[in-house]
């Protein structure tokens, strides 16, 4: 037995058809064009969708008419149906093929500052000539670039793009605490925020996973509040690193690690001076407090500098003593998920007439308190209320609720 389409079902089918009309026809070619022409958009959707699949991200964008939250939801919903086939080996940042890496902390760093592809130092001027059919204006430079050569292949020549980490230099110099021994020896032991509930205080892995799939705009808003002055410190960007990382798994039969593909990744680190934890012995009592550097970290799949810098600031802010209420771990992680926040926001469009009716009932009965007192038994009797209560109630003005509001036609 299937209930035939009724009012609601017909309406939702029509609504979807109108939507399809609006965004128009798209095909495999459209999807390929989106993937090729909008790598940063693709990266943002993949990062927030926590699924590295440029083609699917492009399809989601085509299918959602460019509505980012819808595209991310589609990717996540697809992702949640996929089995986990294997665990990748840890990506060593030093083995990344670096395309761009900047440190604001030092003028020069081992391996050098690499500007790579960016609009950072360009004039953001609309290339209006393109609208007249002219080709795009090409800045001069980079003669190695061959026509139609895939961008990625520029960075796959030799070892020159394997660059050491700034933070490692600082650790060797005793400026940063050494990395703790990794608590999860096996990849299968790493808590997975997509398979287990997030509880607080969250394991570090879950915090970083949450930031990695967080809404770019949401992380930016909270991170910006922190940078603008609600944070106690002024962090410095230690390193922003964009590049390609090999996804390596261990061959199930030979046991040899091998690369199953290469993904675009971003990571950002910020540093600031914080008071070192006291040694805790009697000898340290009375000594002046010590300062040391602390690191905030954020990484994501795809190239997304804004999110990772803001995320690294928040990562640091969460660990500082007594953070602003909007920078606690629970606040940040709960409120920056793109699917949850956008979904809940638009859910307010759903009918709420039952809850609203319940609220109106309260508004009316408070407004007409004298009228309801002495009502019958099963609705509850308000008459007992006044007994033993201070006398101010009788003197209170009646709130402005229309007497006619409850009248029946």
Pick from 341, 303, 301, 349: nearest CA to 68? 341
Residues 330 to 349 in contact with another protein, rule: CB under 8 A: 330, 334, 339-340, 342-347
Q: Which is nearer to another protein, 65 or 382 (CB)?
A: 382
* Shortest Å, Cβ 386 to another protein: 7
User: Using the rule CB under 8 A, is 55 a contact of another protein?
Assistant: no
Q: Does 68 bind another protein (CB under 8 A)?
A: no
Which residues are CB-contacts of 239 (< 8 A; sequence separation ≥ 6)? 101, 102, 103, 105, 109, 165, 166, 167, 267, 268, 269
Q: Binding marks (x or -) toward another protein, 301..330, rule CB under 8 A?
A: ---------------------------x-x
Instruction: Measure Cα distances from 60 to 41, 57, 73, 408 in Å.
Output: 11, 5, 9, 50
Measure the CA–CA gap between 55 and 263, rounded to whole angstroms: 13
Among 76, 100, 207, 327, binds another protein (CB under 8 A): 76
Measured from the CB atom, the residue of 67 and 168 that comes closer to another protein is 67
Q: CA separation (Å) from 79 to 16, 51, 133, 149, 266? A: 23, 7, 40, 31, 21
Pairing assessment for the beta strands 236-250 and 257-275 based on DSSP bridges: antiparallel
Among the listed ranges 131-139, 232-240, 297-305, 355-363, the one in contact with another protein (CB under 8 A) is 355-363
What does the chain come to in residues? 409
Q: Does residue 360 bind another protein (CB under 8 A)?
A: yes
Closest to another protein by CB, 292 vs 383, is 383
Residue 203 sits at the vertex; the CA angle it makes with 197 and 206, to the nearest 5 degrees, is 60
Nearer Cβ to another protein (121/378): 378
Residues in the site for another protein, rule: CB under 8 A? 1-3, 6-9, 11-12, 73-74, 76-77, 79-81, 83, 194-201, 328, 330, 334, 339-340, 342-347, 350-355, 357-362, 365-366, 369, 372, 375-382, 384-387, 389, 393, 404, 407-409
């Amino acid at each position: 037995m299937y209930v035939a389409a009724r009012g609601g079902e017909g309406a939702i089918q029509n609504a979807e058809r109108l939507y399809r009309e609006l965004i128009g026809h798209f095909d495999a070619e459209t999807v390929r064009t989106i993937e090729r022409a909008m790598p940063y958009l693709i990266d943002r959707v993949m990062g927030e969708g926590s699924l590295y699949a440029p083609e699917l991200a492009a399809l989601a964008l085509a299918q959602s008419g460019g509505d980012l939250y819808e595209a991310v939801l589609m990717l996540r919903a697809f992702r949640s149906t996929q089995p986990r086939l294997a665990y990748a080996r840890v990506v060593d940042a030093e083995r990344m093929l670096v395309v761009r890496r900047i440190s604001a902390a030092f003028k020069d760093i081992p391996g050098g500052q690499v500007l790579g592809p960016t609009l950072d130092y360009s004039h953001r001027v609309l290339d209006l000539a393109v609208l007249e059919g002219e080709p795009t204006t090409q800045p001069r430079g980079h003669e190695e670039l061959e026509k139609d050569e895939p961008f990625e292949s520029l960075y796959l020549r030799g070892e020159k793009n394997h660059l050491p980490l700034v933070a490692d230099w600082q650790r060797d110099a005793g400026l940063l605490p050494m990395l703790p021994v990794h608590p999860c020896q096996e990849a299968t032991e790493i808590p997975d925020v997509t398979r287990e509930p997030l509880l607080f205080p969250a394991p570090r892995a879950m915090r970083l996973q949450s930031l990695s799939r967080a809404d770019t705009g949401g992380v930016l808003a909270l991170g910006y509040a922190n940078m603008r002055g609600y944070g106690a410190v002024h962090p410095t960007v230690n390193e922003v690193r964009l590049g390609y990382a090999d996804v390596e798994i261990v061959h199930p039969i030979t046991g040899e690690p091998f690369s199953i593909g290469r993904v675009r990744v971003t990571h950002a680190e910020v540093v600031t001076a914080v008071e070192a934890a006291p040694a805790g012995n009697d000898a340290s009592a009375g000594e002046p407090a010590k300062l040391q550097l602390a690191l905030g970290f954020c990484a994501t799949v795809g190239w997304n500098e804004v999110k990772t810098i803001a995320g690294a600031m928040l990562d640091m802010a969460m660990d500082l003593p007594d953070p602003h209420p909007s920078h606690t771990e629970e606040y940040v992680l709960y409120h920056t998920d793109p699917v949850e926040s956008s979904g809940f926001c638009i859910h307010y469009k759903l009918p709420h007439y039952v809850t609203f009716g319940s609220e109106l009932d309260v508004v009316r009965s408070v407004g007409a308190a004298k009228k309801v007192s002495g009502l019958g038994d099963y609705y509850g009797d308000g008459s007992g209320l006044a007994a033993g209560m201070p006398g101010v109630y009788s003197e209170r003005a009646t709130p402005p609720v229309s007497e006619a509001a409850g009248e029946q036609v």
